Amino acid sequence: MENAAGRRVAVIDGPNLNLLGNREVRVYGTQTYAQIKAELQERAKSLGLELSHAQSNHEGEIIARIQALPAEGVAWLVINPGAYTHTSIAIRDALLAAQTPAIEVHLSNPYAREPFRHVSTISDIVKGRIMGLGVWGYILALEYIAGKVQNKKKKEDMP
Ligand code: DQA
Selected catalytic residue, list 33, 53, 84, 106: 106
Rounded-to-5 percentages of helix, strand, coil across the chain: 50, 15, 35
pLDDT at 2 over 60: no
Known catalytic residue at 106: yes
What is the number of the ligand 1 atom nearest to the C-alpha of 106? 10
pLDDT at 121 over 80: yes
Q: Which of helix, strand or coil describes residue 104? A: strand
What is the number of the ligand 1 atom nearest to the C-alpha of 108? 11
The pTM assigned to this predicted structure is 0.94
Known catalytic residue at 28: yes
Question: Cα–chain-centroid distance for residue 37?
Answer: 12
Q: In terms of DSSP H, where are the helices of 50-135?
A: 59-72, 89-98
> Cβ(134)–Cβ(40) under 8 Å?
no
Instruction: Report whether residue 148 contacts ligand 1, using a CB cutoff of 6 Å.
Output: no
Selected catalytic residue, list 28, 84, 138, 144: 28
Instruction: Report whether residue 106 contacts ligand 1, using a CB cutoff of 6 Å.
Output: yes
pLDDT score for 3: 61
> Cβ(18)–Cβ(57) under 8 Å?
yes
- Percentage of residues in the chain having pLDDT higher than 70: 95
Q: Which residues contact 69 (CB under 8 A, 6 or more apart)?
A: 10, 77, 98, 100
pLDDT score for 26: 86
pLDDT digits (tens, 9 = 90+) for 68-97: 999 999 999 999 999 999 999 999 999 999
Instruction: Report whether residue 129 contacts ligand 1, using a CB cutoff of 6 Å.
Output: no
Q: How far is the CA of 49 from the centre of ligand 1 (A)?
A: 25
pLDDT band of 25, cuts 50, 70, 90: confident
pLDDT band of 1, cuts 50, 70, 90: very low
Query: Residue with the nearest Cα to atom 7 of ligand 1?
Result: 82
pLDDT score for 151: 81
pLDDT band of 157, cuts 50, 70, 90: low
Query: Residue with the nearest Cα to atom 9 of ligand 1?
Result: 106
